[in-house]
Amino acid sequence: MPFNKIDVKKEQDGELILQAKNIKKYFPIKGGILRTTIGHVKAVDNVSIDIKKGETLGIVGESGSGKSTLGRVILRLLEPTEGQIIFENNDISHLGNRQLRDYRKNMQIVFQDPFASLNSKMSVAELIEEPLVVQTSLKKSERKEKAIELLEKVGLRAEDRLKYPHEFSGGQRQRISIARALALHPKFVICDEPVSALDVSIQAQVLNLMSDLQDEFNLTYLFISHDLSVVKHISNRVAVMYLGRIVEIAPKKNLYDQPLHPYTQALLSSAPTTNIQNRREKIILKGDLPSPANPPSGCAFRTRCPLVHEKCVEVRPELKGMGNGHFVSCHLHT
Ligand SMILES: Nc1ncnc2c1ncn2[C@@H]1O[C@H](COP(=O)(O)OP(=O)(O)OP(=O)(O)O)[C@@H](O)[C@H]1O
Ligand code: SF4
Ligand SMILES: [Mg+2]
């Protein structure tokens, strides 16, 4: 039996599809003539998340906060430095490529840049049918039928299958990426900034498509974005990352209406809103994100926090439950 069967806790409000436990991903920094390891970039530093079947968990944070690295480790596109990834009762943290093959069908990713993620030399038909060739025994005619069905599901036409990626707009290319990701009927899809490269007017169309497909295909999403309004549109719960850690996680309404962490409050204060009641006084954060190779002592946010106090320099705050699924890591909330 290659897999480590473990008990997955069932929560009152839904069965878990994925658990990431104490995930760390440290990238070595090489230096000197001998290129020895002189330090580590702590891209993800002890992150735990549970994702329920059918939900969308949004992940927000500044550039470099570790969102994509976390996504890639969860999909096992990157090996975790430490921690466990449990997908549908199976510990997949250390499976080899052959053992991972069966899971790859169920776990897919849609990337930000549909230019870079679609091979420009392949036709749309080849792009969508490629996963079917690799992972299924469907005949050529069946693959064609499937590709047409998928194209129509994402709002493109059957005849588009004969074209190449450069013949489409950014939004259409992202629709092709989505069709390709759904070809094997995955259960879990990581969406890594899927609309960030698109015009604002096109973003809503693609987000609506992703919501519709979620219902139709029973999908669970981990939705990564630096844009709070995009994440709000699609998520049930939202996690905020800062320097490789989750600083706050809550059901969407709680996070947007009553953010507890000073970093979340600052992010929300600078996000555009049309709702006058939700308009907050803008909090300007001083300085840049510190280097994940040399994070501050105590609370990693302390160098930019308007509410920093003595304890924050020395003691790292734990992520603590405040009730109703709202967790925060800040000494102001104990
Ligand atoms: N392969 C790698 N080798 C070394 N460092 C890396 C590698 N991949 C990512 N990093 C570093 O890890 C940190 C987190 O990067 P990551 O790409 O996960 O951030 P992100 O939140 O997705 O940012 P963005 O919003 O810009 O996509 C950054 O400091 C980045 O430079
Ligand atoms: S622990 Fe201190 S520095 Fe960190 S967010 Fe809370 S108040 Fe700010
Ligand atoms: Mg990223």
Mind listing the pLDDT tens digit for each residue in 216-273? 999 999 999 999 999 998 999 999 999 999 999 999 999 999 999 999 999 999 876 6
Q: Which ligand is nearest to the CA of 192?
A: 3
Q: Which ligand is nearest to the CA of 333?
A: 2
pLDDT of residue 113: 80
- 214: tokens are 């979620």
Structural domains in the chain, sorted by start: 16-106+184-250 (3.40.50.300)
In Å, how far from its chain's centre is CA 264?
18
Ligand 2 center–CA 300 separation, angstroms: 8
Q: Is the pLDDT reported for residue 42 higher than 80?
A: yes
Ligand 1 center–CA 146 separation, angstroms: 36
Mind listing the pLDDT tens digit for each residue in 263-321? 999 999 987 665 655 556 788 888 888 999 999 999 999 999 999 999 999 999 999 99
| Full DSSP string of 202-234 | HHHHHHHHHHHHHHHHT-EEEEEES-HHHHHHH
Report the nearest-CA residue for atom 17 of ligand 1.
68
Ligand 2 center–CA 241 separation, angstroms: 14
Report the nearest-CA residue for atom 6 of ligand 2.
330
- 153: tokens are 């599901």
pLDDT of residue 14: 74
CA distance between the termini of the chain: 44
- Which ligand 1 atom lies nearest to the CA of residue 293? 29
Q: What span, in angstroms and rounded, lies between the C-alpha atoms of 70 and 24? A: 9
CB 165 within 8 A of CB 179: no
Q: Is 63 in the pocket of ligand 1 (CB under 6 A)?
A: yes
pTM: 0.92
Mind listing the pLDDT tens digit for each residue in 54-106? 999 999 999 999 999 999 999 999 999 999 999 999 999 989 888 898 888 99
Mind listing the pLDDT tens digit for each residue in 14-23? 799 999 999 9
CB 265 within 8 A of CB 330: no
Ligand 1 center–CA 66 separation, angstroms: 6
Q: What span, in angstroms and rounded, lies between the C-alpha atoms of 216 and 210? A: 10
pLDDT of residue 7: 40
Q: What span, in angstroms and rounded, lies between the C-alpha atoms of 112 and 195? A: 6
pLDDT of residue 277: 56
pLDDT of residue 307: 95
Ligand 3 center–CA 10 separation, angstroms: 30
Q: Which ligand is nearest to the CA of 311?
A: 2
Q: Which ligand is nearest to the CA of 66?
A: 1
128: nearest Cα among 104, 107, 152: 152
Edge-to-edge order in the sheet of strand 220-225: 107-110, 188-192, 220-225, 56-60, 237-242, 245-251, 327-328, 320-321
- Pocket probe mutation, ligand 2, options 283, 285, 312, 322, max atoms within 8 Å of Cβ: 312
pLDDT of residue 233: 87
- Which ligand 1 atom lies nearest to the CA of residue 224? 22
Mind listing the pLDDT tens digit for each residue in 110-148? 988 877 888 999 999 999 999 999 999 999 999 999 999
